[in-house]
Amino acid sequence: MDKMRMESENIQQENVAKIGELFPNCITEARSEDGKLKKAINFEMLKQMLSDSVADGNEVYEFTWVGKKASIVEANKPIRKTLRPCKEESVNWDTTENLYIEGDNLEVLKLLQESYLNKIKMIYIDPPYNTGNDFIYNDDFKISSEEYADETGEVDEEGNRMFKNTDSNGRFHSDWCSMIYSRLMLARNLLSKDGVIFISIDENESGALKLICDEVFGASNFIAQLVWSAGRKNDSKYISVSHEYIFCYFKDIQFIKDHNVIWREKKEGLNAIYAEYDFLKKQYGSDYVSIEKELKKWYKDLPDSSPAKEHAHYNKVDAKGIYFADNISWPGGGGPKYNLLHPVTGKPVKIPSRGWLTNEKTMKKWIDEGKVNFGNNETYVPTLKSYLKDREYAVPYSVFYKDGRASSKRLATLMGDKVFENPKDEEIIQRLIEMCNTSDGDIVMDFFSGSSTTAHAVFLANIHQDKKRKFILVQLPETINPSKASTERSKKVAKNAIKLLDSLKRPHNICEIGKERIRRAAKKIHEDHPDAKFDDGFRVLKLDDTNMNNVYYAAGDYTQDLLTMMESNIKSDRTDLDLLFGCLLEWGIPLSLPYTSEIIEGCTVHNYNDGDLMACFDENVPESVIETIAKRQPLRAVFRDSSFADSPAKINVGEIFKLLAPDTRVKVI
């Protein structure tokens, strides 16, 4: 039986293997730092194979900074960590398909590379903007937190991997670029072929982010730089910068084009128009002249800020509904010209100078369907009836107008006070989710989740469109500390947050704010929509050191003598559930699927997703239990080393599975 690796995938070696598939003659061997041989690339041979495509010298088009190469190495470096389930902090653990993960997002992204490779439909992130006053992630993991704290002071007494990146830092921009670059590299792997990523940013690093995204995702996959106008700021000396940006990239634009994917979103203000139309229809019946007159008056009386006012041209009515008189001539000129008879006078109507919009056959069809609106006589050019019900959706605009203060007020009302600075607008993110064709089963991810705005947005989008999307949120459990606040306002917000968490008897960190926001958002939505059904739960998982003891070695390091010396290679505080989820990560199985546990002859046997994986971590598992598991023919089976009395017993397990379940992959930890 194979030994489980119990560490994240070695992405660097995977990349070497991919190059080897294309150019096997470029693969050689080299000694690693521990003296062992590993596959490596002969770059001179690779250059020769690529010949004219290789760019040598200094004059090449690229964006670089101090630490870029190190950030690439950091992204590819495997880690020996795991995600530990936390059922007591979860909501609807057994049934939910949503995940809330606490931990450094770089390490979490590494651990998710197998389970969620090419499976995320949409990513939205709101990373630190690098304003000189905010905190960014410290990614130097080469030495321990204690050593790093002693040498640099950039890890605080709680061991937080965050530091305030002031503009006096000589690597001010470089540190931020390295931080975001490594995370985007890993995030791209998780996006599905039709996946899309949205990244919020302001002017401080928007230029750098664009160049980084062009490199990571490919410039051809750039879709748009959306602008979110959040309302006027009055504290500027020169220009009131009242907008932020949202960069949008596809994973694979060619895949999108090949599958004819289009984006549309429902126009705002339509519900108000339909409501007024229904009211007038009850009042005037089929008196369409009166309905039109009152509808025009209603539009005129609307405030300029009303979204419905943008559709005031939809002010005509017939038996089929509301429409506007659209142009029936060919855009730009050169359209077909033919005689069209007026239905009352029987005389040819006036032909538009640019020609008709369509040919005679289609025009006749439109007339038969009542879509052509003729004037009082033949001297008028007809118009085309464009019904509102047929024009409800439009290509999304690149500019979002939304008062940023409104989302802050909504969150403060939901949480009982202002407990988070500058939260993103859940309604904006809801629009992004809805417009990019996310549907049932699709996963929306946010690995800078903050106050959990994205989870709230997923709930709203699911309710609005009756969909079953899922979310994965990742957030570092940063300690909330008022003394570190840069302004009095920030200090007050931090104190409010601590007051709330004390009332809930929870630790003082941002994750607790985020989880509570999800709980309250779900409750509020249920109150507003009593009949709505949606997945309002989430499984909490927490990043931690490997489940294996310090005596643990990588799978390739094991020898029989070493195995004999070990009393137990698993930490004493780890539960069966910890071990099960560690196995899921290594085997690349999603972490949100259902599972059951049962007692078989005194042994606890776990069955994940009806046979995707069966596991038993008990000591000295009887052969009869092994046979029972094998007869169910799971795709995968896993046991502990100590599940077997000796080596012959372990060998016998392999023989049982060969006989009863030859297609089952069996491993031990």
Instruction: Single out the residue of 128, 125, 123, 131 nearest to residue 139, CA to CA.
Output: 128
Residue 439 predicted with pLDDT over 60: yes
Residue 58: pLDDT band (50, 70, 90) is low
3-state secondary structure of 208: helix
Range(s) within the chain of domains with CATH label 3.40.50.150: 75-238+406-479+508-545
Packing angle, helices 288-301 and 270-284, rounded to 10: 140
Q: What is the pLDDT of residue 28?
A: 80
In this structure, are residues 132 and 205 in contact, taking their beta carbons and an 8 Å threshold? no
Residue 92 predicted with pLDDT over 50: yes
Taking the chain, what is the end-to-end CA distance rounded to the nearest angstrom? 10
d(CA 442, CA 445): 10
Q: What is the pLDDT of residue 309?
A: 94
Q: What would you report as the CA-atom Rg of the chain, rounded to the nearest whole angstrom?
A: 31
d(CA 209, CA 457): 24
pLDDT digits (tens, 9 = 90+) for 648-665: 888 899 999 999 999 999
pTM for this entry = 0.85
Q: What is the pLDDT of residue 530?
A: 94
Q: Average pLDDT for residues 414-434, to the nearest whole number?
A: 94
HEC secondary structure over 128-156: CCCCCCCEEECCCCCCCHHHHHHHHCCCC
3-state secondary structure of 473: strand
pLDDT digits (tens, 9 = 90+) for 402-416: 777 888 999 999 999
Q: What is the pLDDT of residue 318?
A: 93
Residue 148: pLDDT band (50, 70, 90) is very low
Higher pLDDT, 35 or 297: 297
Q: Average pLDDT for residues 9-37, to the nearest whole number?
A: 75
Q: E-assigned strands of 356-432?
A: 372-373, 383-387, 393-394, 399-401
pLDDT digits (tens, 9 = 90+) for 156-197: 444 455 556 666 555 667 889 999 999 999 999 999 999 999
3-state secondary structure of 341: strand
Residue 351 predicted with pLDDT over 90: yes
For residue 350, count CB atoms less than 10 angstroms from its CB and return exposed for 0-12, middle for 13-18, buried for 19 or more. Answer: middle
Q: What percent of the chain has pLDDT over 70?
A: 87
* Residue 201 token pair: 């940013």
d(CA 444, CA 459): 11
* Residue 566 token pair: 């070990």
Q: What share of the chain is helix, strand, coil (3-state, %, to 5)?
A: 40, 20, 40
d(CA 401, CA 428): 9
Say which range, 197-201, 327-331, 339-343, 557-561, has the weakest mean pLDDT.
Answer: 557-561
For residue 381, count CB atoms less than 10 angstroms from its CB and return exposed for 0-12, middle for 13-18, buried for 19 or more. Answer: middle
In this structure, are residues 135 and 164 in contact, taking their beta carbons and an 8 Å threshold? yes
Residue 150 predicted with pLDDT over 50: no
In this structure, are residues 445 and 475 in contact, taking their beta carbons and an 8 Å threshold? no
At CA 667, angle to CA 98 and CA 545, rounded to 5? 55
Q: What is the pLDDT of residue 147?
A: 41
Class of domain 75-238+406-479+508-545: alpha beta
Residue 380 predicted with pLDDT over 80: yes
- Establish how many alpha carbons lie within 13 A of residue 332's alpha carbon, considering only the half-sphere containing its beta carbon: 0
The rounded mean pLDDT for the chain is 88
d(CA 669, CA 297): 74
* Residue 386 token pair: 């464009």
pLDDT digits (tens, 9 = 90+) for 257-281: 999 999 999 999 999 999 999 999 9
DSSP 53: G
Continuous H helices in 112-224: 145-152, 172-190, 206-213
Q: How many CB atoms lie within 10 A of CB 272?
A: 16
Q: What is the pLDDT of residue 424?
A: 92
Q: What is the pLDDT of residue 648?
A: 85
Which amino acid type is present at position 135?
F
Say which range, 194-208, 253-267, 554-568, has the weakest mean pLDDT.
Answer: 554-568
- The Cα-based distances of 51 to 54, 132, 290, 512, 588 in angstroms read 6, 45, 77, 55, 38
Which amino acid type is present at position 655?
E
